[in-house]
Amino acid sequence: MAAGDDRRLDVLRAIVEDYVQTREPVGSKVLAERHALGVSSATIRNDMAVLEEGGYIAQPHTSAGRVPTDKGYRMFVDRLSSVKAFSSAEKSAIETFLAGAVDLDDVVTRAGRLLAQLTGQVAVVQYPSLRRSGLRHLELVVLGERRLLVVLITDTGRVEQRTLELTEPPDETFLVDLRTRLNVAAAGRRLKELRAALTTLAETYHPVDRDLVERIADVITETLSQESEERIVLAGTANLAQAGMRFEHALRPVLEALEEQVVLLNLLTEMAEDSAGVNVRIGRETQLAGLFETSVVTTGYGSDGDAVATIGSIGPTRMDYPGTIAAVRAVARYLSRILGS
């Protein structure tokens, strides 16, 4: 399709919008009646023939109606000029619902439920990565005579605990001073900067005390280096069953693909690397056979404008793209605000 062919783009946009709403193949007569395209049915038929030849629409049956292809949806999404605007009441409801969370698990769960409700599709929320999180606060707690509990609280709300076995009872005064200095040195730093800051701090201590400082520093950096904790939460899977007729073939491959959390995580990671904003993969663009009849809409969320994880919506390729994009973007924005508060 020529980039300047605005009329045919309008015809494609009208076909997508009608098909999303009705689930019925769209004909030229219907387009002429429902949309102010400013041309006759004959001209629309000609435009549809060009669109079909270009692979943007297809004829699923012998009827005159056409449906968008993955290529057509891609053109529609790429040329979106606007997305649904949320009202002040909707924005307030989102913020209030997420702000009521009591901890990180609750925040992630609520975000998934909310997005699934807004879109009527499956919501997927990745837990904040430790590797991309900064350290908000650190506590050192004495457990018995020769055990020390290191508690890490990240700027995304994650709490991690590690235990150190000591060779001799710790000095309480020393630990109080060390905790203060560790928090000053490490607060807000990501892993890359954190290593250097902790190494510099350890070098300021007398060799007698330096071993313990270095061991604590190692615990901190090793904990934040972990990748194995990466996981996701799904919400609204039942929505796919309720809308099962939206899929051309069986629903089972989609549900099986959603159960493969490692594969799904890889997809979210790839999409995050593709774009810093909202990313949309349509049909076979997912490169996952089970999701060939779905589209995935994702964006990053985090504190201080730095994405630490991904949130998204998964539904049939025949989805409301403007509405889904707006919902994903809105929930991510307020999720970031909650984590950063």
- Which CATH number fits the domain that encloses residue 170? 3.30.390.60
Question: From CA 156, how far away is CA 338, in angstroms rounded?
Answer: 9
For residues 109 and 234, state if they share a domain: yes
- Decide if 83 is inside a domain: no
In what order do the strands lie in the sheet containing 306-316?
A: 232-235, 122-126, 306-316, 294-303, 279-282
Count of domains forming the chain? 3
One domain for residues 140 and 241: no
What is the spatial distance between Cα 338 and Cα 210, in angstroms, rounded to a whole number? 38
Q: How far, in Å, CA of 130 to CA of 224, rounded?
A: 5
Q: What is the largest CA-CA distance in the chain?
A: 90
Does pTM top 0.85 for this prediction?
Answer: no
Asked if 268 contacts 310 with a C-beta cutoff of 8 angstroms, the reply is yes
Q: pLDDT (tens digit, 9 = 90+) per residue, 234-260? A: 999 988 877 545 666 678 888 888 888
Summarize pLDDT for 26-55 with one digit per residue, the tens: 988 888 888 888 888 888 889 999 999 999
In this model, does residue 3 exceed pLDDT 50? Answer: no
DSSP secondary structure code for residue 230 in this structure: -
In a domain, 1, yes or no: no
Query: For the chain, where are the alpha helices, taking DSSP H only?
Result: 6-22, 28-34, 41-53, 70-78, 88-99, 104-119, 172-186, 191-202, 207-224, 237-242, 252-259, 261-274, 321-340
Mean pLDDT for 273-283 is 87
How would residue 71 be classed by pLDDT, with cut points 50, 70 and 90? Answer: very high
**Residue 234's domain spans which residues?**
88-128+230-340
